[in-house]
Structure 1
């Protein structure tokens, strides 16, 4: 039997309630008291909601855990056993740099949809993160609060009431054939990283895959490379390739790339003989044989772009350039997908959907010539 009392505090001029419901472990009545309501109706409503949650078994004992403490000490600790180190580092970066500063100091039980939506609005307005990364922020918040709900730390997940932020698909910037040739001509004069740029443009490999490529994964006889490991985003670890089943793959090379690799192998062999060398069998490496940091590649890349007088693009856009040039040549999207290491050809088609209209037109013209060219000659 529940005992309910709603009264006004003459000192503060606010209302409070006292609810007696159930018993403690020692057999004494279990009593709940809450103050600070502006009206009697507000106090009565809160008391009835509390009583209902107690009856239904959905009541969560109030706690003072900050969202920050829960994310760092429980949620991310739990993730350590479930995701790769590189993925965990990305999660930690998002949490520490973009979630905690805005809502990390709110008590876990006091987080609400408006606060979470406010964070998304702030990130979108500041434009410090891409649309895709803001979506990752939402995924992390939703995942963490879903787990907090399962663990009984909150009554319900407030992120479930917030819409996933939209990502506006940005137009891909790529080079045409002439721009590729100009860039490679300048890059060849630029030294040791020419091979990295050549591999990016002629294979579509990701930057981490290029920087993690070993000589034992280069098959000169068959003219191909095998993708078996990648360099971590911080440049400190060489990791077995487990991005997707299709990520670990074999890519056939143009004859020119095979020749360039042979020349680069001779260059690396001379470096090994000339000084103290840490031999990790890497194709792209420093003078001492250690992994190349991405910032060094990026710096050289920007300098060559300026010298070659070609449009500014990111290193990753050379991968897009490779795929675009293949598709414009009429190469089957399934083959392009396999070279890129996409898990599904639909990813390839979605990424390069902007090319489809021109490809359709070209296909129609070729098909017309195939059927009617002979008739026109008669």
Structure 2
């Protein structure tokens, strides 16, 4: 049995003509629905929008009033029937013109591996905040991704739904109702002087030795080391010019991460010696390989001139760590080790920030704040010794 419960008449501008629009709320079986006349389409046929599945009359009436309000303001968007996975594929294509290839590959991996399997078969208009919250929760509980990548899942969903709104496929972004997941900060692992020396002594005969040497002596990022070319190395003055990096999934050279990442790094005599030795090795390998050698002018290439694959470099890194018997850390932690050792020897934080390519000293101090208590203690002792040793001599 169908119960007529509500009839409203409102005015709206359709094709610049004023027409009467009818709407109503009714009960059908055990649930409620609303219907509203949206006017005529391009062929002159009337468009009636119906929305079913409301548990109560109040819910249906509230939803209808929202549609009527949007119509009166001229901002109503008819719910899209496009599947979310179809839209995401287009969204990825659009991103090609605004992000780097490495970022694009990250997006693809997250979209295809985690978002589409969970939400892809839903129509854009069917996605709710609850759907998104369930996905975020499941990823967190199942430890499927790191906290940082779960944040990326959230960011991609939010950005893609914003894009759908721009194309008038959605009236609102339901992701705004979901709190951005928090990432638990990973505890920083660094080596002390003894561990650095043990690691380098073990790695010295490995083909990739210079990669690790530069990471520890300059604090450069992995992509910056792999993208370092001889044209940006001044052996005479002992300076490395960090201007570009190598994209993770291609052999393309791109600009460095930020404006502040474009920097000059002074290097010690030992590093100059290792660079000269590396250049000699590369020249020998080019002669031996002949036409099989791929020349990119890289400072740290494989034996045939090609860039190292990060995954292969990680395997080498872990093997040497095991052989050296030192604490297991990530490749990026060698950058942290470099900064930590400098700060512990009371290097001015501004100099450390410049070597790392941080935009300001505050960024550096925020990252390495765990060192501050000990540094304060050492500074207080040095100041006390200086001040009171002078007083004691004069008394």
Superposition TM-score, scaled by structure 1 size: 0.92
Q: Which residue of structure 1 aligns with residue 223 of structure 2?
A: 208
Q: Which residue of structure 2 aligns with residue 50 of structure 1?
A: 67
- CA-atom RMSD in angstroms: 2.1
Gaps of 5+ in 2: 1-19
> Cα deviation per residue 1:250-286 (whole Å; 9 max; x = unaligned)?
1110111111111222222221222222222111112
Shift of 1:28: 6.1
Separation of aligned partners in 2, 1:180 and 1:286: 23
For residue 279 of structure 1, the aligned residue among 287, 295, 302 is 295
Separation of aligned partners in 1, 2:40 and 2:194: 81
Instruction: Provide closer, same or farther for how the CA distance between residues 39 and 185 of structure 1 changes in structure 2, counting only shifts above 3 A.
Output: closer
Aligned length: 373
Separation of aligned partners in 2, 1:167 and 1:326: 28
Matched, 1:325 2:341: yes
Matched, 1:132 2:148: yes
Instruction: Provide closer, same or farther for how the CA distance between residues 255 and 21 of structure 1 changes in structure 2, counting only shifts above 3 A.
Output: closer
Instruction: Provide closer, same or farther for how the CA distance between residues 218 and 19 of structure 1 changes in structure 2, counting only shifts above 3 A.
Output: closer
Shift of 1:315: 1.3
Q: Please tell me whether the aligned partners of residues 328 and 359 of structure 1 are also in contact (alpha carbons under 8 angstroms).
A: yes
For residue 2 of structure 1, the aligned residue among 18, 21, 31 is 21
Q: Please tell me whether the aligned partners of residues 224 and 256 of structure 2 are also in contact (alpha carbons under 8 angstroms).
A: no
Q: Which residue of structure 2 aligns with residue 65 of structure 1?
A: 82
> Cα deviation per residue 1:296-351 (whole Å; 9 max; x = unaligned)?
22222212111111011111111111011001111111111111112333322221
Shift of 1:216: 2.0
Q: Please tell me whether the aligned partners of residues 21 and 51 of structure 1 are also in contact (alpha carbons under 8 angstroms).
A: no
Matched, 1:184 2:200: yes
Q: Which residue of structure 2 aligns with residue 33 of structure 1?
A: 50
For residue 170 of structure 1, the aligned residue among 162, 186, 211 is 186
Q: Which residue of structure 2 aligns with residue 374 of structure 1?
A: 390
> Cα deviation per residue 1:210-245 (whole Å; 9 max; x = unaligned)?
1111122221110111122222212x3131323111
2:265 is paired with a residue whose SS is strand
Superposition TM-score, scaled by structure 2 size: 0.88
Separation of aligned partners in 1, 2:120 and 2:392: 73
Separation of aligned partners in 2, 1:137 and 1:6: 38
Instruction: Provide closer, same or farther for how the CA distance between residues 17 and 269 of structure 1 changes in structure 2, counting only shifts above 3 A.
Output: closer
Matched, 1:228 2:273: no
1:31 is paired with a residue whose SS is strand
Query: Which protein has the bigger strand share?
Result: 2
For residue 250 of structure 1, the aligned residue among 261, 264, 289 is 264
Q: Please tell me whether the aligned partners of residues 301 and 307 of structure 2 are also in contact (alpha carbons under 8 angstroms).
A: yes
